[in-house]
Amino acid sequence: MNNRVVSEKPQAVYFYGTCLIDLFYPQAGIGAIELLRREGVSVIYPQSQTCCGQPAWNSGYRDEALAVARRQLALFPRPIPLVIPSASCAGMMKMHYPALFRDQSDEATALNVAGRVYELTAFLVDVLDIRLTDLGDPVSVVVHTSCSARRELGVGDKLHTLLRQLHNVEILEPENSAECCGFGGTFAVKQPEISAAMALDKAATVRATGAQRLVSQDCGCLMNIGDVIEKQNQVMPRQHIAELLWERTKN
Amino acid sequence: MSTEFRSNVAHALKQDAVQTHLRTVVDRLRAHRQGALSDDAAFEQLRNRCEAIRADAIRRLPDLLEQFESNAQRNGIQVHWAETTLQANQIVLGIMQQHRATFLVKGKSMVSEEMGVNAFLQSHGIDCLETDLGEFIVQLADEKPAHIIVPAIHKKRREIARLIHGHFPGLPYNEDIETLAQSVRHFMRDKFRAAPVGLTGVNFMVAETGTLCLVENEGNGRLCSTLPPVHIAVTGIEKVIARLDDLPPLLNLLTRSATGQPITAYVNMINSPRRPDDKDGPDEVHLILLDNGRSRIAGDPELLETLHCIRCGACINHCPVYRQIGGHAYGTVIPGPIGAILEPQKQGFNAAAGELPQASTLCGACAEVCPVRIPIPAIINRLRWESVRKNQQSQNSRPVVPGAGSGRKPLEALIWKIWAWCCTHPGIYNRLTKLATRLRNRLPADMGVWTAVRKAPKPAQATLHEHLRTMNIDHE
């Protein structure tokens, strides 16, 4: 799917870091911003951003989700793209804000923002047509494509498009690659036993590739799978795609 | 918090052998389906057509049912309406008693499972024999089906061999599938000949002709519906479609999605009881149309898509949760994603099934494969909301789903309130996230089940917000 809604390279974009990256994986956010800026796009990061509201939305607490989402809407007034380094959070804003804000007074604003949302890898590939030169040492990475990227936004292939530009990176796919890792946000809290069983299965297929690193476009999956692998005393550093790309292509 | 579902899950996850076997079979079913979809574009067109057929049928449900009834009656089929499963069971019992019948043979039918007709009739001294091989195995084991298409999906060959040997002690023990199937087939023949009544399900009802369509692979459905003098068909009211022309695309899609077959071995089209010049067929055909909450579901513009389901089981085969826990853990007649949306709507949130909308990571695999594109994740989301929502509009109007709001727990609601307050107050949010980063080495290492298999997540040394304040970035 081509998610492109702007026809040419924008001068500026809003950047939405997501709460998970804010607290656990800031290097992913920094990497993404550096990549965008190197392409000549100036990045606006509203400091009042918090969370897109997805955890409450997926848990049925729509009033709370709406209050939080509404607070985010106000941060993106200019008619420029909103780039999000997570398919899960981008999916929330792009695909679910329209339902969340249905019949609300600010529905039009929500639809407008939703229409400007880009998942990072899709933005880099489809809008910026980014060209990357690999400056790093040879490394093998196992790719986990998040369910939101693969099925909700249909941008799962962008990760591969980007990685294929790095000639020193060997891309490995785990067996059963389309299967969910079992995170599912509050699912991991509400049904921890199933979540754990799924995470163990996913970690086993990821480890079986023998890759040196684990890469994804979503930090929820990275946390889930990566924390299992660490618990098993295995060394397979996890990296958000943006962090990996920046690390290997910066001068 | 331990619930019935959670303890079912805990039990299921301990059955390592069953789990491994289940995965093998589920993966095989996925591969079969994939193998049956050679041309993507043609398949998507077929899905479009069938999605439209089912949407149209459910939108016009009352009209189509009336049309179907009058055509079926004109053909000589006796149509009975049942609002509840008890009523449906009583109708079956009435027909049995009218014919002084104490025994019936059954084809595979999920609606008969929904009715619990076997147990009901048993309590009135009537025996039911499952004649579908998978259902027969499940009956021998005194269990419930673990899948809507493959009832004995959880049973390994050796276990099946033992069950059959136990039932036919005269036969030598054998694990060969052909031999096992032959043994059962020989046993069944006499039962079909002797049975006064045959009971089956229905895949589709055609309104314009009053036809019942039943697909199957073993021929037992045909025997149940032709050999005994009385045929009773049971089905849910949502199985109606408008035209005969609607049937070929639906069957094509159903069998490919279910088992990867282009067509089933048997396609039965039942129009009427035996006519004077017919070589075979029953003297009476009864159809019992079960509502059991379906018309209530049809009244909601979003939830009604649940009724579009054609029971292919593709969502079940592709569900990562089902793949882990199997069918029995759901504790319902229909398991998997479709069960997780249908059963709570039927039974309400106060029933054990009320927790099933939680049995999903919202990964979207179900919606991706659903032949008629039921938006299962969106319906799960809606049901999670219905489960915990407050302020139901009016006391007089019945809630869309019984027990709406009953899943709202004070502590959980309070946590979400606090969360929302923090996330709507960036100053507070920033202070809290900063605090978490400063305490990163002093956070608890034990976080229950999460840390049983994972290391505890550790906040970064500084938040992205903090990092970016020192970078040359426009913060607006």
| H helices present in B195-270, as ranges | 220-226, 247-259
Instruction: Give the count of alpha carbons within 13 A of A141, CB side only.
Output: 28
CA B126 to CA B100: how far, in whole Å? 10
Q: B464, A58: Cβ pair inside 8 Å?
A: no
Touching A: B residues 397-416, CB under 8 Å: 407, 413, 416
Tell me whether residue A78 is in a domain. yes
Q: A29, B13: Cβ pair inside 8 Å?
A: no
Q: A231, B453: Cβ pair inside 8 Å?
A: yes
Q: List the CATH code of the domain at B64-295.
A: 3.40.50.10420
Tell me whether residue A7 is in a domain. no
A14 forms bridges with which residues in the sheet? A44, A82
Complex confidence, ipTM: 0.96
Co-location of A120 and A208 in the same domain: no
Tell me whether residue A179 is in a domain. yes
Compare CB distances from A227 to B389, B407, B457 and report the shortest one's residue: B457
Co-location of A67 and A105 in the same domain: yes
- How many other C-beta atoms can be found within 10 angstroms of the C-beta atom of residue B448? 10
The CA distances from residue A172 to A7, A125, A145, A177, A241, in Å, are 33, 20, 12, 10, 14
Residue ranges, comma separated, of all CATH 3.40.50.10420 domains in chain B are 64-295
Helix (H, G, I), strand (E, B) or coil at B138: helix
Residue-level pLDDT at B227: 96
**Secondary structure of chain B: what % helix, strand, coil (to 5)?**
55, 10, 35
Residue-level pLDDT at B169: 82
Q: What is the CATH number of the domain that holds A200?
A: 3.40.50
Average pLDDT of the segment spanning A27-48? 97
CA-closest candidate to residue A245, choices A154, A156, A155, A165:
A165
Contact B233, B201 (CB under 8 A): yes
Co-location of A112 and A169 in the same domain: no
Q: What is the DSSP letter of B440?
A: T
Q: B451, A59: Cβ pair inside 8 Å?
A: no
Compare CB distances from B358 to A151, A152, A190 and report the shortest one's residue: A190
Tokens 């369509």 sit at which residue?
Answer: B213
Co-location of A207 and A101 in the same domain: no
Q: B471, A33: Cβ pair inside 8 Å?
A: yes
Q: What angle do CA B380, B402, B350 make, to 5 degrees?
A: 80
Q: What angle do CA B81, B84, B88 make, to 5 degrees?
A: 55
CA A224 to CA A213: how far, in whole Å? 15
Distance of CA A210 to the CA centre of its chain: 24
**Chain A residues touching residue B457 (CB < 8 angstroms):** 24, 223, 227
Structure tokens at B259: 């088992």
| Residue range(s) defining the domain that contains residue A145 | 139-249
**Chain B residues touching residue A48 (CB < 8 angstroms):** 426
Tell me whether residue A29 is in a domain. yes
Tokens 């594109």 sit at which residue?
Answer: B373
Co-location of A148 and A123 in the same domain: no
**Chain A residues touching residue B376 (CB < 8 angstroms):** none
**Chain A residues touching residue B423 (CB < 8 angstroms):** 19, 50-51, 53, 68, 71
Residue-level pLDDT at A213: 98
Domain end residue (candidates: A68, A102, A127): A127
CA distance, residue A160 to nearest chain B CA (Å): 20
A-B interface: how many C-beta pairs under 8 angstroms?
A: 198
Q: A23, B388: Cβ pair inside 8 Å?
A: no
Beta strands in B83-174 (DSSP E): 103-106, 127-130
Q: B453, A17: Cβ pair inside 8 Å?
A: no
CA B71 to CA B66: how far, in whole Å? 9
Angle subtended by helix axes B426-438 and B410-423, to nearest 10: 100
CA-closest candidate to residue B304, choices B34, B8, B56, B135:
B56
**Chain A residues touching residue B362 (CB < 8 angstroms):** 58, 147, 184-185, 187
Helix (H, G, I), strand (E, B) or coil at A24: coil
Co-location of A232 and A157 in the same domain: yes
CA distance, residue A186 to nearest chain B CA (Å): 9
Beta strands in B300-441 (DSSP E): none
Domain end residue (candidates: A96, A127, A158): A127
**Chain A residues touching residue B320 (CB < 8 angstroms):** 179-180, 182, 198
Report the relative pairing of strands B211-216 and B266-270 from DSSP bridges. antiparallel
Residue-level pLDDT at A3: 52
CA distance, residue B322 to nearest chain A CA (Å): 10
Co-location of A104 and A76 in the same domain: yes
* B423 and chain A in contact, CB less than 8 A: yes
Residue-level pLDDT at B16: 87
CA A150 to CA A223: how far, in whole Å? 18
pLDDT one-digit tens code per residue, A87-107: 999 999 999 999 999 999 999
Residue-level pLDDT at A1: 43
Touching A: B residues 426-465, CB under 8 Å: 426, 429-430, 433, 436-437, 448-460, 462-465
Average pLDDT of the segment spanning A213-238? 97
The CA distances from residue A250 to A35, A125, A213, B472, in Å, are 9, 18, 19, 17
Helices then strands (H, E): number in chain A?
Answer: 14, 8
Structure tokens at A243: 């962090």
Q: What is the DSSP string of B401-428?
A: STTTTTT--HHHHHHHHHHHHHHT-HHH
Instruction: Give the count of alpha carbons within 13 A of A183, CB side only.
Output: 21
Co-location of A54 and A115 in the same domain: yes
Q: B468, A99: Cβ pair inside 8 Å?
A: no
**Secondary structure of chain A: what % helix, strand, coil (to 5)?**
50, 10, 40
Q: B452, A190: Cβ pair inside 8 Å?
A: no
Q: A61, B413: Cβ pair inside 8 Å?
A: yes
By the 10 Å C-beta count (0-12 exposed, 13-18 middle, 19+ buried), A210 is classed as exposed
Q: Which residue of B has its CA nearest to A56?
A: B416
Tell me whether residue A216 is in a domain. yes
Strand ranges across the sheet with A238-240? A169-172, A139-144, A213-216, A238-240
Q: Which residue of B has its CA nearest to A225?
A: B454
Contact B133, B223 (CB under 8 A): no
Residue-level pLDDT at B264: 95
CA B313 to CA B87: how far, in whole Å? 27
Q: B378, A99: Cβ pair inside 8 Å?
A: yes
**Chain B residues touching residue A43 (CB < 8 angstroms):** 473-474
The CA distances from residue A155 to A41, A162, A184, A240, B230, in Å, are 21, 12, 18, 16, 56
Touching A: B residues 313-352, CB under 8 Å: 320-321, 323-325
Q: B365, A180: Cβ pair inside 8 Å?
A: yes
CA distance, residue B87 to nearest chain A CA (Å): 35
Co-location of A117 and A163 in the same domain: no
Structure tokens at B383: 């049901």
Compare CB distances from B420 to A68, A99, A179 and report the shortest one's residue: A68
Domain count, chain A: 2
Q: What angle do CA B147, B152, B155 make, to 5 degrees?
A: 125
**Chain B residues touching residue A23 (CB < 8 angstroms):** 433, 436-437, 459-460, 463
CA distance, residue B179 to nearest chain A CA (Å): 34
Best residue of B5, B322, B363, B433 to probe chain A, by most A CBs closer than 10 Å: B363
Tell me whether residue A134 is in a domain. no
Mean pLDDT, chain A, rounded, equals 96
CA B98 to CA B93: how far, in whole Å? 8
Q: What is the DSSP letter of A123?
A: I
CA distance, residue B308 to nearest chain A CA (Å): 21
Co-location of A123 and A76 in the same domain: yes
> What's the length of chain B?
476
Domain end residue (candidates: A127, A161, A193): A127
Co-location of A121 and A167 in the same domain: no
Return the exposure string of B381-410: e unless at least 16 CB atoms fall within 10 Å of the residue's CB, then b: bbbbbbbbbeeeeeeeeebbbbbbebbeee
Q: What are phi and psi of B354, to 5 degrees?
A: -60, -20
Q: B467, A188: Cβ pair inside 8 Å?
A: no
Q: What are phi and psi of B53, to 5 degrees?
A: -60, -45
Tell me whether residue A74 is in a domain. yes
Q: B416, A51: Cβ pair inside 8 Å?
A: no
CA distance, residue B474 to nearest chain A CA (Å): 5
Per-residue pLDDT of chain B in tens (476 residues, 90 and over written 9):
568 999 999 999 999 888 899 999 999 999 999 999 878 899 999 999 999 999 999 999 999 999 999 999 999 999 999 999 999 999 999 999 999 999 999 999 999 999 999 999 999 999 999 999 999 999 999 999 999 999 999 999 999 999 999 988 888 898 999 999 999 999 999 999 999 999 999 999 999 999 999 999 999 999 999 999 999 999 999 999 999 999 999 999 999 999 999 999 999 999 999 999 999 999 999 999 999 999 999 999 999 999 999 999 999 999 999 999 999 999 999 999 999 999 999 999 999 999 999 999 999 999 999 999 999 999 999 999 999 998 665 555 678 899 999 999 999 999 999 999 999 999 999 999 999 999 999 999 898 888 999 999 999 999 999 999 988 788 77
Co-location of A93 and A61 in the same domain: yes
Q: B464, A55: Cβ pair inside 8 Å?
A: no
Enumerate residues 6+ apart whose C-beta is below 8 A from B310.
Answer: B50, B54, B203, B204, B250, B253, B254, B257, B371, B372
Compare CB distances from B473 to A43, A223, A231 and report the shortest one's residue: A43
